[in-house]
């Protein structure tokens, strides 16, 4: 193929490429949205690098190496037989074993897991560790289920999945609806079936091979990245008012790190609405929310009943005036109009701690307004990064100290930030972190694929 250079030609090529992706993946809007986001920044970069076109690298990258779907039967506490659908998308193993979380949520389907597995491939590459990309889950709703029901579901899920995973093949972790409790049940069943104690899942309890700092890693890492973006642009996180959405693992630890670095976390949310604390949440309040969500499994609105300086509101928190936003709940939770409101209210930086929380219109609005925009695959890579370190500790049968792991996490987030700056620097505006993260993640995976020939 001849060299593609003009931007018109690049756009033509992108549109033809996306036509093919759309045609091959009907009814999978989240997945095609994620592919377009990557392709629109990678195509200009590879325009004058024919080896990637001739070897159909982007085409092959958009096709999972393997997509497994399976039946998950289980029995509820009343003795009724229930059936859910489980999945594992083994997306790309070019630079290491498949690695990515398991999500339990009623919205789970193939499109969402393919988008997450695709993104995970680039994210894992950015960590600098030898990790491929994958994602899995089930359309199971853990809300309102008893511990025993969750245990039976996890056991049934792993009774099928165990044959597809392994410490050198595919190493799942947690995600929405899958925390320490669920990982414990799944690891217990894996060990029982295979009679092997190996690092096949990450996010495990500290008593059975888990890593210190794993629970905190995604939220803390996201705020390290936000701090780095602000520092890079001669600003600081100190004194900044930060909007956080979600109230799960990522959100609560993001709030905690904002507080530790001298900022004020103003909001948290769940699917029922958001809570607002104009003074900024205290550590005591954040701990209270952690307990609410992981032990009592209650609703975020209860925080307003408990604390005088917290109010509850329906909807999402993006109308509150603040300096930074860290969406930490789920995909597509900031739309174009909400982005415009944030911009009108003077937002300076947005760091995507959840996966693809900003719709394309929102991303475009932030970039057009020169708001610093940190994409998920860079911002939330600390979680999988420490998961990678958990795998290393499991292989060597050792446990590193919290201090060592905190430093490793912080250094990893600095390195990821530097890679984004290297590939995303612009002469006349803020760093283009979106292009920087996509290209830095792409290059390593693409070059490994070139080495393997057409596999």
Angle between the N-to-C axes of helices 381-396 and 214-232, in degrees from 0 to 180, rounded to the nearest 10: 130
Query: Binding ligand NDP by CB under 6 A: which of 111, 155, 355, 438?
Result: 355
Residue with tokens 């091959």: 24
Query: Binding ligand NDP by CB under 6 A: which of 174, 265, 388, 424?
Result: 174
283 lies in the binding site for ligand NDP (CB under 6 A): no
149 lies in the binding site for ligand NDP (CB under 6 A): no
Q: Which is nearer to ligand NDP, 75 or 141 (CB)?
A: 141
Query: Binding ligand NDP by CB under 6 A: which of 380, 394, 419, 438?
Result: 380
Active site residue 135: yes
250 lies in the binding site for ligand NDP (CB under 6 A): yes
The DSSP code sequence of 37-82 is HHHHHHHHHHTT-HHHHHTTHHHHHTS-SEEEEEEEEEE-TTS-EE
Separation of alpha carbons 111 and 331, rounded Å: 12
Separation of alpha carbons 217 and 381, rounded Å: 9
Separation of alpha carbons 226 and 257, rounded Å: 11
Q: Which of residues 291-330 bind ligand NDP (CB under 6 A)?
A: 328-330
Query: Binding ligand NDP by CB under 6 A: which of 132, 177, 209, 265?
Result: 177
254 lies in the binding site for ligand NDP (CB under 6 A): no
For the record, the structure tokens of 259 come out as 């507080």
Q: Which of residues 37-56 bind ligand NDP (CB under 6 A)?
A: none
Separation of alpha carbons 251 and 249, rounded Å: 6
Residue of closest CB approach to ligand NDP: 248
Query: Binding ligand NDP by CB under 6 A: which of 57, 176, 371, 409?
Result: 176
Q: How far is the CB of 247 from ligand NDP (least distance, A)?
A: 4
For the record, the structure tokens of 54 come out as 């001739």
For the record, the structure tokens of 55 come out as 């070897």
Given 99, 135, 257, 290, which residue is catalytic?
A: 135
CA-based nearest residue to 376, from 396, 399, 350 = 350
Q: How far is the CB of 370 from ligand NDP (least distance, A)?
A: 26
**Catalytic positions, please?**
135
Q: Which residues bind ligand NDP (CB under 6 A)?
A: 174-177, 179, 218, 246-251, 269-272, 328-330, 354-355, 380, 383
């Amino acid at each position: 193929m001849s060299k593609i250079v003009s931007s018109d030609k690049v756009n033509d090529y992108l549109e033809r490429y996306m036509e093919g992706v759309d045609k091959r993946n009907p009814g999978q809007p989240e997945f095609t949205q994620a592919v377009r986001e990557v392709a629109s920044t990678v195509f200009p970069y590879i325009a004058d690098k024919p080896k990637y076109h001739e070897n159909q690298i982007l085409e092959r990258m958009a096709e999972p190496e393997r997509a497994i779907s399976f039946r998950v039967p289980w029995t509820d506490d009343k003795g009724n037989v229930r059936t859910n659908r489980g999945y594992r998308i083994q997306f790309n193993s070019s630079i290491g074993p498949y690695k990515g979380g398991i999500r339990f949520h009623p919205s789970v389907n193939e499109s969402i897991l393919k988008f997450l597995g695709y993104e995970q491939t680039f994210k894992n590459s950015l960590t600098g560790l030898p990790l491929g990309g994958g994602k899995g889950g089930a359309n199971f709703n853990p809300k309102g289920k008893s511990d025993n029901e969750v245990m039976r579901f996890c056991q049934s899920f792993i009774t099928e999945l165990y044959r597809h995973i392994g410490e050198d093949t595919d190493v799942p972790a947690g995600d929405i609806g899958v925390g320490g409790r669920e990982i414990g049940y799944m690891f217990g069943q894996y060990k029982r079936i295979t009679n092997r104690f190996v690092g096949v899942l990450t996010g495990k309890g500290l008593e059975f091979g888990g890593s210190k700092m794993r629970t905190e890693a995604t939220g803390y890492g996201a705020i390290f990245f936000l701090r780095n973006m602000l520092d890079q642009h001669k600003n600081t996180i100190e004194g900044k008012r930060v909007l956080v959405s979600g109230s799960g693992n990522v959100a609560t630890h993001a709030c905690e790190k904002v507080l530790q670095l001298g900022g004020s976390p103003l909001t948290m949310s769940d699917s029922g609405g958001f809570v607002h604390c104009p003074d900024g949440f205290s550590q005591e309040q954040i701990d209270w929310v952690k307990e609410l969500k992981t032990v009592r499994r209650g609703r975020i609105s209860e925080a307003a009943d408990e604390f005088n300086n917290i109010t509850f509101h329906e909807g999402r928190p993006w109308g509150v005036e603040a300096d930074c936003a860290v969406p930490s709940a789920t995909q597509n939770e900031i739309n174009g109009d909400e982005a415009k409101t944030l911009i009108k209210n003077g937002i300076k930086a947005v760091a995507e701690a959840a996966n693809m929380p900003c719709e394309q219109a929102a991303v475009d609005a932030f970039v057009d307004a020169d708001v610093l925009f940190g994409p998920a695959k860079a911002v939330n890579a600390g979680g999988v990064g420490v998961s990678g370190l958990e795998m290393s500790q499991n292989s060597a049968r050792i446990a590193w100290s919290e201090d060592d792991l905190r430093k490793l996490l912080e250094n990893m987030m600095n390195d990821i930030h530097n890679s984004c700056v290297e590939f995303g620097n612009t002469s006349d505006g803020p760093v283009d972190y979106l292009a920087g993260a996509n290209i830095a993640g792409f290059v390593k995976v693409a070059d490994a694929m070139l080495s393997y020939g057409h596999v």
